[in-house]
Amino acid sequence: MISPRGCLFSILQPVLLRSNPGRLVSRSAVLSSNRPRIPLHLRPPNFSATVADLKKWHIWAKNLVSSVGSTFLDLDNGPDSTLLQRELTWLIQDAFENPNKVSFQNSNDDDSVVSLRVCLDDLYKMWKQRIEERRPFQYVVGCEHWRDLVLSVEEGVLIPRPETEMIVDLVNDAVNENEELRDGLWADLGTGSGALAIGIGRILGDPGKVIATDLSPVAVSVASYNVQRYNLQDKIAVKQGSWFEPLKNVEGGLAGLVSNPPYIPSDHIGGLQAEVAKHEPRLALDGGANGMNDLLHLCHGAVFMLKPGGFVALETNGEIQSKFLVDHMDTETKGSFHDVKIISDFAGIQRFVTGYKAR
């Protein structure tokens, strides 16, 4: 299920993203040193402002939106004023304790006091950052709506996109066809916010487990926070390290492996939307000269990490990369995989490559 907020982000800010990698540290140590920000909508309403002051803020914020027009869209396919107006509405929904009880039209309520989750000065700062710095809206409010989840995100963590949701659907199809996969051990490499690990963890059977790895300590902290929010600590282990490094003790034992790795060619990153190029972690974007460095590394690692019959699903940048990866899996891994396929995303882009480890 695609949320409205996530869907609009994908349509109007095309997906040129990617996740990062995964050394073993204790989860408590990570959380104490890199404690994630609490998403705005979960913060207590410890602040207040009058309706009159909030009206002034709202007029100022709308004027900023109007000043953008199609400038960002024309510049780098960024958000236009229509999307920014929707985001302003979402900001109000997240920041106000009771947004539906606040009217900016009724002058009789000007002296009424509204409970807020941030102070009024911060509301000004947050919207100024969104417009003037092109800071992603998800970082402004500290979360992204993905499937039926609301995931914490912050600077240093890739914002999960709606098309990546399809990997969970592909895994669901695979485990429905083979109950052994449902009850096995899975890995989400370059977990970022933990989106895929959480999505997969919720469809596995009781014995099924997920190891989520990432090189970034910020991502490990945020993913751990999201796992705890959805009460999946007993099913999902979040480990810090590069790709397969935290998985050395389970070589040949994985029922499944998924990843949304960095796949943007290095020289393309500067041309991405400002929200992506200036704010999202390059570690999660840069796939090397042709964008294939990490995809090929994952492909070769899967040969050794998957057990016979194990499932692999990788996200790519599209047709050229997906076809190259399929050819590589068919010809360069010496028959290690079978039933290798390219799966298109909801926009018709040949986005995903799936296959099974040969028995």
Domain boundaries, the chain: 40-137, 162-357
Task: Please provide the average confidence, as pLDDT, over all residues in the chain.
Answer: 91
Angle at 128 between CA 127 and CA 134, to 5 degrees: 90
Give residue-wise pLDDT tens across range 270-299: 999 999 999 999 999 999 999 999 999 999
Give the pLDDT confidence score for residue 133 in this predicted structure: 98
Which comes out higher in pLDDT, residue 191 or 31?
191
Question: Looking at the domain 162-357, which fold is it?
Answer: Rossmann fold (3.40.50)
Give the pLDDT confidence score for residue 128 in this predicted structure: 98
- Tell me how crowded residue 97 is: count the other CB atoms within 10 A of its CB: 15
Give residue-wise pLDDT tens across range 85-131: 999 999 999 999 999 989 888 777 889 999 999 999 999 999 999 99
Q: Record the tokens describing residue 246, joined without a space.
A: 């935290």
| Residue found by looking up tokens 């999902």 in the block | 236
pTM: 0.90
Give residue-wise pLDDT tens across range 161-191: 999 999 999 999 999 999 999 999 999 999 9
* Cα atoms in the Cβ-side hemisphere of radius 13 Å centred on 188: 29
- The answer, yes or no, to whether residue 344 has pLDDT greater than 60, is yes
Lowest average pLDDT, out of 8-12, 340-344, 354-358, goes to 8-12
- Burial state string for 151-181 with b = 16 or more CB within 10 A and e = fewer than 16: bbbbebbbbbbbbbbbbbebbbebbeebeeb
Give CA–CA dist 135/121, Å, rounded. 17
Give CA–CA dist 160/191, Å, rounded. 10
**pLDDT band at residue 334 under the 50/70/90 scheme:** confident
Give a three-class secondary structure readout of the chain: CCCHHHHHHHHHCCCCCCCCCCCCCCHHHHHHHCCCCCCHHHCCCCEEEEHHHHHHHHHHHHHHHHHHCCHHHHHHCCCCHHHHHHHHHHHHHHHECCHHHCCCCCHHHCCCEEEECCCHHHHHHHHHHHHHCCCCHHHHHCEEEECCEEEECCCCCCCCCHHHHHHHHHHHHHHHHCHHHHCCEEEEECCCCCHHHHHHHCCCCCCCEEEEEECCHHHHHHHHHHHHHCCCCCCEEEEECCCCHHHHHHCCCEEEEEECCCCECHHHHHHCCHHHHCCCCHHHCECCCCCCHHHHHHHHHHHHHEEEEEEEEEECCCHHHHHHHHHHHHHCCCCCEEEEEEEECCCCCEEEEEEEECC
Give CA–CA dist 271/86, Å, rounded. 25
Q: Are 144 and 172 in contact (CB under 8 A)?
A: no
Give CA–CA dist 22/219, Å, rounded. 9
Give CA–CA dist 270/71, Å, rounded. 18
Which comes out higher in pLDDT, residue 332 or 68?
68
Q: Alpha-carbon Rg of the chain, whole angstroms?
A: 21
- The answer, yes or no, to whether residue 6 has pLDDT greater than 70, is no
Residue type, 213: T
Give CA–CA dist 22/346, Å, rounded. 28
Give the pLDDT confidence score for residue 308 in this predicted structure: 98
